Chain A
Amino acid sequence: MILISFDIDGTLEVGDPPGVLTMAMVRRVQKEGFLIGSCSDRPISAQRAIWAQHNITIDFAVGKMMLPDVKARFIADVYYHIGDREDLDKRYALDAGFEFLWPQEAIVQPWFL
């Protein structure tokens, strides 16, 4: 089982600024059985609204410092966080025991292709 946490702004196409990862890519990994959700500075209610607008049922939506909660809540073989910020994505991810991918690294992963 793989769990992927998506940052929104600068990472997903719906972000501000838009990122390179499309909602179609998110749907693809979800279809593969991945656990997915968002970890963003956007309000949690706004994160949920974004996913709902795109008819994607997520497993979690959390604030930036809540990745440890996600790890405690879900059992997976590997945990990824994808984001565009050194301080707010990479650091939080590594501190929480997640693997970290920049959006341009993530986009070439086999699961998204």
Chain B
Amino acid sequence: MTPQYPHASMYRTTEGLGLWAHRGKVAAVGVGHSPTARRWDGNPETCVGAWSILALRKAIADAGVAPDQIDGLILDPVTTTGAYWPEGAPVPMDVVNAFKPTSDLLDGIAKLSADWILQNMPELTNIQFVMYAPRCMSHAVVVAAQAVGSGLTHTCLVLKSWHNFEGRYYQGGANAQDAIDGTSAISRLWGTPASYGTALQFAEYCRKYGKTHDMMAPFITNSRRNGLMFPEGYWAQHRPEHLTAEDYLAARWIAKPANLFDNDIPIMVSAAYLFTTPERARDMKHKPVYILNHASSRGTPRSLTPTLDEVEAETSKTGRKLYEGAGITAADLSFENTYDGFTLFHQFHIEGLGYRGMKHGDALDFYQTDISISGPNPVSPSGGNIGSGRSRFWMHTDCIQQLQGRAGARQVTGVKPEIAISGGPMPLGGNFTVWSATPG
């Protein structure tokens, strides 16, 4: 089956669209995660394909649905942003031959096609709809919401996987070549770290509003604390280390004012969700979490890097789109789970949402108050990428689990979990979802 790419009409990118036509008519029920690892150990059972299968099977079992009832699969075929198979390195044929391979021998190792998944999951006998949603789970989630809502699929698996290899992230691929083309020839010519654009925006933010980088410390400690209560996460599984304010403030700069702990740690991991209609969800194993709306940012900067003004305008617009389509206001949010990988743009997202009445410039002061899961104003209860490693999906899993009441030690207690927003990655260029414990 040839996967489709989403048509532009599947996204809600502008204001004035009114209530989302499928508001409350799409539900997430099952969640499945693979284990995590810092890097691939070279074994077949831990390659990105194997862990994808594991996550998918867990999501299916978690939902309590028969595999032959599943008719849709949405995934990201790209499984990294910065770890590439070394040019000329031999392909490990023992790994390739441990599965049913496709014509691309690195499929399932350094990338992931729908064909590879379907060839290696024979129980998925009824897949009628396959779509690619590149870049991150936030993208796959909004595409899945629209696909289920519009009837393209009624029971759909949503998958995002990440591989990581030996060596330094972002040092291979195009960055290892002698020449670079396209826009990158200008924007990345000087070998800037990935976080530099966000760092520039944050520096301007601090100047404009009279804030300091040190004021990020409570957000960082809160995120790691929450992450250590995420048993699916990297830090909880491998290095249960808290990040103290002292740790954060002593870290070296990566792109000042972004320091080491403002950047996330690349890992290997897969996650899958099972989306369906409310009618079908009734017979499944867990309480459905309904999607009230989704919205996407497709803002483009005037120059190489978005300015703070452009960032603030775009995040406010995203907030308005989300509320308009969901038929809610900021006051309806129980908590927020917007993206944090890099930490220094989390405040742009939540100020754009107007979370707890915030306006631009307020978030760092807000971080000095009780933002824990036990307080009245939880910030990033998932802990995000800082809390559990680079996946870009902890926020979605957390929203589902919180609203189902099965977030375990991470369960918010200071508020009743009813409505939440997750999404990202970037303030300009992201996909966001409004989740609800009820269909609205």
- Please, which residue of chain A has its CB at the minimum distance from the CB of B250? A63
- Are B252 and A49 touching (Cβ within 8 A)? no
Chain B residues within an 8 Å CB radius of A63: 250-252, 260
Interface residues of A in 47-96 (CB under 8 A from B): 49, 62-66
Alpha-carbon separation in the docked complex, A16 to B241 (Å): 14
CB under 8 Å from chain A, chain B span 149-188: none
A62 near B250 with CB under 8 A, answer yes
A46's partner among B241, B248, B253 (CB-CB below 8 A) is: B241
User: Which of B38, B244, B253, B260 is A45 in contact with, Cβ under 8 Å?
Assistant: B244
CB distance from B236 to the nearest CB of A (A): 14
Asked whether A64 and B247 contact (CB < 8 A) given A45-B242, A49-B241, the answer is no
CA distance A63 to B247 in the complex (A): 8
Write the chain B residue with the least CB distance to A69: B250
- Given known pairs A16-B38, A41-B260, the reply for A66 and B250 (CB within 8 Å) is yes
Q: CB-CB contacts of B206-247 with A at 8 A, as 1s and 0s?
A: 000000000000000000000000000000000101111011
Q: Is A26 an interface residue (CB 8 A)?
A: no
Cα distance A16–B248 in the bound complex, in angstroms:
20
Q: Using a CB–CB distance below 8 Å, which chain B residues touch chain A?
A: 38, 239, 241-244, 246-248, 250-253, 260-261
User: Chain B nearest CB: distance from A107 CB in Å?
Assistant: 22
Q: Which residues of B contact A41 (CB under 8 A)?
A: 251-252, 260
A41 to B246, CA, bound (A): 13
Nearest 4 interchain pairs by C-beta: A43-B247, A46-B241, A65-B252, A63-B250
Determine if A25 is an interface residue (Cβ-Cβ < 8 Å).
no
Most buried by B among A43, A49, A63, A66: A43
In the complex, number of A-B residue pairs with CB atoms less than 8 Å apart: 37
By a CB distance below 8 angstroms, the chain A residues around B239 are 16, 46
Smallest distance from the beta carbon of B234 to chain A beta carbons, Å? Answer: 11
Q: Give A41's nearest chain B residue, CB to CB.
A: B260
Establish whether residues A43 and B252, one from each chain, have CB atoms under 8 Å apart when the complex forms: no
A44 interface contact, C-beta 8 A: yes
Contact A45 B252 (CB under 8 A): no
Cβ–Cβ < 8 Å partners of B248 in chain A: 43
> Is there contact, CB below 8 Å, between B252 and A44?
no
Question: B251: which A residues are within 8 A, CB to CB?
Answer: 41, 43, 63
From A42, A45, A64, A65, B246 is in contact (CB under 8 Å) with: A45
Contact present for B38 and A43 (CB under 8 Å)? no
| Residue contact A44 to B250, C-beta cutoff 8 Å | yes
Query: CA–CA, A65 to B260, complex, Å?
Result: 11
Residue of A nearest to B166 (CB): A17
Distance (Å) between the CB of B415 and the closest chain A CB? 30
The smallest C-beta distance from A87 to any residue of chain B, in angstroms, reads 10
Q: Which residue of A lies closest to B38 (CB)?
A: A16
Complex interface: chain B residues within 8 A of A62 (CB)? 250
For B248, give the chain A residue with the smallest CB separation: A43
Contacts of A65 in B (CB 8 A): 252-253
Residue from A16, A42, A43, A66 in contact with B244 in the complex, judged by beta carbons closer than 8 Å: A43
Sample of 4 further A-B pairs with CB below 8 A, known A43-B242, A43-B251: A43-B261, A44-B247, A45-B242, A65-B252
Distance of A42 Cα from B261 Cα, bound (Å): 10
Nearest B residue to A61 via CB reads B250
Q: Is the CB of B246 within 8 A of A44?
A: yes
Q: Which residues of A contact B38 (CB under 8 A)?
A: 16
**Pairwise interchain contact A64-B252, C-beta atoms closer than 8 A:** yes
Chain A's nearest CB lies how many Å from the CB of B389? 13
C-alpha gap A66/B260 in the complex (Å): 14
Q: How far is the CB of B434 from chain A (nearest CB, A)?
A: 35
In angstroms, Cα B247 to Cα A16, docked, is 19
A13 CB, nearest partner CB in chain B, Å: 16
Complex Cα–Cα for A31 and B247 (A): 29
Q: List 28 A-B contacts (CB under 8 A).
A: A16-B38, A41-B251, A41-B252, A41-B260, A43-B241, A43-B242, A43-B243, A43-B247, A43-B248, A43-B251, A43-B261, A44-B244, A44-B247, A45-B241, A45-B242, A45-B244, A45-B246, A45-B247, A46-B239, A46-B241, A46-B247, A62-B250, A63-B251, A63-B252, A63-B260, A64-B252, A65-B252, A65-B253
